[in-house]
């Protein structure tokens, strides 16, 4: 029975491969052969290919689904001419920002590529630091949503005190931790395969180092460009990238704990140069075969994958309105202008630029866009407009230096309670109504506001050193014993 089943499945895999190849152009078939060669060399030769395990991170974008299709074609092509092929681990990080339609696209891609029942493929997702089998219909855990929101707020309350708010650096930090841990799970993987462009790689490394600094973690300058330095950088961060922000507060461990290797051996295989076709040329493969359905036509306009264009524009409008004494519309207009310049530099198609201008460049639609963005932020980030305005003001850090101004502008009725608010942020017991107000306005529990109260603001351009966190845990685990004192780091940079 097993032999008959194996024969039937091999026939199915051959059919999947033939269908895939039918969508590939001649240039893509050549790129596929180069990818196979690159993987075989990385494995140490064809005789070792069966022991070689590859990691593919899946975030549900069209490019990511296309890259997975190319990697699956390589896996099945090797299997068609050799008794063994490489193992494939597909991993997704669940976050508040992931739209259900994105999960549907992943599921349709996985189903089209027949990876669910293939013993050579692991299809995983991580929710609140727990590794689970991927399931697109499983809602994110309540604890995971709460952890995501708190992580985002704790990182972004230490934002740099200049420039527009648009980075959402927590996405970089959580992704870096995810990469490092999923690469160590169940025996680890040999290589991460990525099709990110050099620009995207540089942006991720820079964002990760900036976010690490906000979290009080030290990182050295990368020795090599792009993802060649990715795992060396991740190793510096340790297994818990948020440990300095939460100090002695309980945090979920990566689990199942016994399934993680102590040592990671992962390298990076860069294949961005093998993606020979443009978006329009891949349309038929992604639409007809993978059944990809665009969730947000503006997704490729976003500065990063961790938030949407509409939320970024919304934040710029709120910043102009509540921080700079200008109108909401002028802030959105500034965002549109900067984004159009960025789109030109990235050489995005004219049709996308025109669509972006039509949606976000029309002042008559700003009220509707604001309402839609507020709903989106509440639904996907668990943040109300009140909490976003609080985040823009960062009223808690530096011992509440901006708290009085924040209250005068937005909550004048709480000015009478200013001494009580400071007492609460110093860890003293205060009236329940005061603590409830703090939590509702910020989106954070009082214990974490107390942590922010003792932190300093990030210094522009200072990425390498931790800023104002006086915890030994702020240093990487392997360096805490012999590193200079954190106060010396802050004073000397």
SS (H, E, C) the chain: CHHHHHHHHHHHHHHHHHHHHHHCCHHHHHHHHHHHHHHHHHHCCHHHHHHCEEEEECCCCHHHHHHHHHHHHHHHHHHHHCCCCCEEEEEEECCCCCCHHHHHHHHHHHHHCCCCCCCCEEEEEEECCEEEECCCCCCCCHHHHHHHHHHHHHHHCCCECCCCCCCCCHHHHHHHHHHHHHCCECCCCCEEEECCCHHHHHHHHHHHHHHHHHCCCCCCCCCCCHHHHHHHHHHHHCCCCCHHHHCCCCCCCCECHHHECCCCCCEEEECHHHCCCCHHHHHHHHHHHCCCCCCCCCHHHCCCCCCCHHHHHHHHHHHHHHHCCCCHHHHHHHHHHHHHHHHHHCCCCHHHHHHHHHHHCCHHHHHHHHHHHHHHHHHHHCCCHHHHHHHHHCCCHHHHCCHHHHHHHHCHHHHHHHHHHHHHHCCCCCCHHHHHHHHHHHCCCHHHHHHHHCCCCECCCCCCCCCCCCCHHHCCCCCCCCCCCHHHHHHHC
> Could you tell me if 188 and 265 are in contact, meaning their C-beta atoms sit under 8 angstroms apart?
yes
> Could you tell me if 203 and 304 are in contact, meaning their C-beta atoms sit under 8 angstroms apart?
yes
Q: What is the C-alpha separation between 302 and 299, in angstroms, rounded?
A: 6
Q: Pick from 248, 237, 178: which is nearest to 211 by CA?
A: 237
On the 0-12 / 13-18 / 19+ scale of CB atoms within 10 A, 304 is middle
Q: What is the pLDDT of residues 251-261, one digit of tens each?
A: 889 999 888 88
Give domain limits for the chain: 2-289, 299-386, 390-492
Distance of CA 472 to the CA centre of its chain: 26
pLDDT tens for the chain, 493 residues long, are 467 877 888 889 999 999 999 999 999 999 999 999 999 999 999 999 999 999 999 998 888 999 999 999 999 999 999 999 999 999 999 998 788 889 999 999 999 999 999 999 999 999 999 999 999 999 999 999 999 999 999 999 987 655 566 568 899 999 999 999 999 999 999 999 999 999 899 999 999 999 999 999 989 988 888 999 999 999 999 889 999 999 878 888 999 988 888 777 799 999 999 987 666 677 788 889 999 987 766 666 666 677 788 888 899 999 999 988 899 999 988 888 888 888 887 777 777 787 888 777 777 788 888 999 899 899 888 999 999 999 999 999 999 999 999 999 999 999 999 999 999 999 999 999 999 999 999 999 999 999 999 998 776 555 655 554 544 333 333 333 333 222 222 333 2
List the 130-133 sheet strands across, edge first.
Answer: 130-133, 121-127, 87-93, 53-57, 191-194, 267-270
Q: Pick from 185, 189, 275, 193: which is nearest to 227 by CA?
A: 193
- The strand pairing partners of 88, in sequence order, are 54, 121
Q: What is the pLDDT of residues 423-458, one digit of tens each?
A: 999 999 999 999 999 999 999 999 999 999 999 877
Q: Which long-range contacts (CB under 8 A, 24 or more apart) does 389-392 make?
A: 389/318, 389/322, 390/441, 390/442, 390/443, 391/153, 391/156, 391/157, 391/165, 391/442, 392/165, 392/315, 392/318, 392/319, 392/322, 392/323
> Could you tell me if 287 and 108 are in contact, meaning their C-beta atoms sit under 8 angstroms apart?
no
Q: How many CB atoms lie within 10 A of CB 24?
A: 19
Q: Pick from 342, 333, 449: which is nearest to 391 by CA?
A: 449
The overall pTM is greater than 0.75 = yes
């Amino acid at each position: 029975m097993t032999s008959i089943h194996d024969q039937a499945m091999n026939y199915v895999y051959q059919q999947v491969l033939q269908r895939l190849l039918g969508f590939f152009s001649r240039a893509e078939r050549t790129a596929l052969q180069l990818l196979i060669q690159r993987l075989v060399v990385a494995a140490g030769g064809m005789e070792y290919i069966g022991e070689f395990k590859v990691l593919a991170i899946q975030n549900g974008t069209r490019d990511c689904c296309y890259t997975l299709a190319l990697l699956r074609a390589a896996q099945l092509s090797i299997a068609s001419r050799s008794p063994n092929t490489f193992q494939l681990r597909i991993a997704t990080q669940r976050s508040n920002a992931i739209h259900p339609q994105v999960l549907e696209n992943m599921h349709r891609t996985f189903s089209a590529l027949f990876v669910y029942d293939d013993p050579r493929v692991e299809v995983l997702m991580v929710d609140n630091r727990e590794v689970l089998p991927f399931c697109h219909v499983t809602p994110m855990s309540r604890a995971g949503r709460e952890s995501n929101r708190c992580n985002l707020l704790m990182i972004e309350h230490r934002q740099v005190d200049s420039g527009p708010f648009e980075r959402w650096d927590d996405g970089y930090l959580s992704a870096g931790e995810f990469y490092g841990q999923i690469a160590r799970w169940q025996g680890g993987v040999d290589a991460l395969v990525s099709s990110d462009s050099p620009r995207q790689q540089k942006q991720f490394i820079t964002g990760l180092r900036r976010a690490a600094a906000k979290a009080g973690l030290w990182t050295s300058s990368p020795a090599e460009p792009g993802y060649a330095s990715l795992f060396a950088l991740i190793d510096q961060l340790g297994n818990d990238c948020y440990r300095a922000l939460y100090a002695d507060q309980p945090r979920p461990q990566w689990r199942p704990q016994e399934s993680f290797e102590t040592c990671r051996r992962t390298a990076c295989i860069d294949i961005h140069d093998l993606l020979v076709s443009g978006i329009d040329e891949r349309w038929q493969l992604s639409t007809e075969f993978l059944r990809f359905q665009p969730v947000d036509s503006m997704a490729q306009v976003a500065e990063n994958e961790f938030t949407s264009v509409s939320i970024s524009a919304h934040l710029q409008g709120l910043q102009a309105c509540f921080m700079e004494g200008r109108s909401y519309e002028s802030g959105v207009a500034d965002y549109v202008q900067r984004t159009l310049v960025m789109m030109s530099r990235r050489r995005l198609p004219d049709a996308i630029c025109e669509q972006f201008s039509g949606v976000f460049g029309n002042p008559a639609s700003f009220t509707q866009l604001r309402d839609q963005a507020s709903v989106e932020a509440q639904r996907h980030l668990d943040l109300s407009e009140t909490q976003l305005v609080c985040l823009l003001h960062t009223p808690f850090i530096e011992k509440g230096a901006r708290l009085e101004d924040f209250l005068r502008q937005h909550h004048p009725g709480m000015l009478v309670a200013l001494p009580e608010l400071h007492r609460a942020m110093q860890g003293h017991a205060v009236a329940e109504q005061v603590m409830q107000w703090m939590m509702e306005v910020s989106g954070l529990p009082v214990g974490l506001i107390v942590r922010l109260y003792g932190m300093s603001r990030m210094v522009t351009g200072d990425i390498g050193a931790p800023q104002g966190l006086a915890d030994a845990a702020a240093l990487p685990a392997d360096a805490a014993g012999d590193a200079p004192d954190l106060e010396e780091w802050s004073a000397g940079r």
